[in-house]
Amino acid sequence: MSCNVEPDYQYLCSTWGIVVETLAAAGIVFTIALMLALLIMVPRICDAAKRALVPIQFIFLIGTFGIFGLTFAFIIRLNIRTCPTRFFLFGVLFAICFSCLLVHASKLVRLIRGGLGMLWWVMIMTVIALSLVQIIIAILYVAIYLGRNMNECVLGTANLQQRNIDFVLILIYVLALMAVTLLISMIAMCGPCKYWIRHSIHIFITMCFSIAIWVVWIVMLLRGNISLGKNPQWDDPVRAIALVANGWVFLIFYMIPELCLMSRHQSDCAKQINHSQPHLLRQPVGIDNRVFTQEDSSQVQDSGRSSPSSIPRFDATLAMRDMEPAKEFSIPRPQQRPNSYMQYRTHDLSQM
């Protein structure tokens, strides 16, 4: 398929270009719809732990929106405008998304064991700090290397393989984020509270598909296209397809299930944690009898010289058992009642 456009935009009229840009445009529209749905659902979220995750998930949707938009920079051919955009935004956008998943998984590690986890502002600062590392790496590469060799980046064909290697090397930090997120999500699936395990499974499945996509496109970019004789024709389509595929993985396997669980009622995790503990480690549930506590405090005030540790404490349960009256379980036997007339005659005879 061909159309009368500039050579830089020829891929927009190709078959793979039309398919990829259609999926990217649909992803942009669907991401905006999920943003609006998340904002609408905020007043209906009663759980404080879920409400604390709303800013992180909104940032995640912003990163996913950028991933779909970046796809068009790989459908358009490499030029002076798209070259720095590709090298800078590819790693930064994925670093934002994987940082949000990592922070969410870290919070689930505490929630699944009955804790509260990080606060919402701590999670936002953590996402910014984790993403800032990749931003610095991308800025240094774009400003130092591409600033000096921009013509070589756009027009150079001799160092085409080295350019692909550099593209992968500046993403090493993102690969490390993916590995750590996968590990933390596996840890977050081991805990007594089964309710939060569902959220951990969403992150784990998302990371498994994301890692598979990244392995495929990196292998194709560095080895596969060369062995098939499709280098550099397939370099841009491989990365564009990887962007669209990973963006839809983020939406289908993570964001949509999370929105479905946002307004659901949370089960009582305290009871699940209590039942999962051994019998000796369970905390007894009941009300303390404060009568004995007051008696102990009065004894402490009376004995000024005695230390509080020397005063014995009474168990409320044992004391209440001692206060119960003893029950008689013997069978009552009939007794003969004295005759009142015989007592009267005996008394008269004694007086005579």
Give the per-residue pLDDT at 49.
86
How far is CA 24 from each of CA 73, 105, 161, 196, 294, rounded to the nearest angstrom? 11, 27, 27, 32, 71
Domain containing residue 63: CATH number: 1.20.1070.10
Give the per-residue pLDDT at 229.
83
Whether residue 213 lies inside any domain: the answer is yes
d(CA 270, CA 286): 15
Structure tokens at 324: 């119960």
d(CA 240, CA 8): 15
Closest CA to 11 of 102, 110, 79, 112: 79
Tell me how many domains the chain contains: 1
Whether residue 100 lies inside any domain: the answer is yes
Closest CA to 141 of 95, 99, 84: 84
Whether residue 86 lies inside any domain: the answer is yes
Give the per-residue pLDDT at 279.
43
Give the per-residue pLDDT at 210.
97
pTM: 0.75
Whether residue 15 lies inside any domain: the answer is yes
Whether residue 13 lies inside any domain: the answer is yes
Residue stretches of the chain with pLDDT short of 70? 1-3, 149-152, 154-158, 265-352
Query: Residues of 77-94 as b/e, b for ≥16 C-beta within 10 angstroms?
Result: ebeeebbbbbbbbbbbbb
Q: Which pLDDT tens digit goes with each residue over 203-255?
A: 999 999 999 999 999 999 999 888 888 887 888 999 999 999 999 999 999 99
Q: Which domain holds residue 139?
A: 7-266
Whether residue 107 lies inside any domain: the answer is yes
Whether residue 244 lies inside any domain: the answer is yes
Q: Where are the alpha helices (DSSP H) in the chain?
A: 15-41, 48-52, 54-75, 82-111, 120-140, 147-148, 150-155, 160-169, 172-188, 197-219, 225-228, 235-250, 256-262, 269-276, 290-302, 316-323, 340-351
Give the per-residue pLDDT at 126.
96
Whether residue 323 lies inside any domain: the answer is no
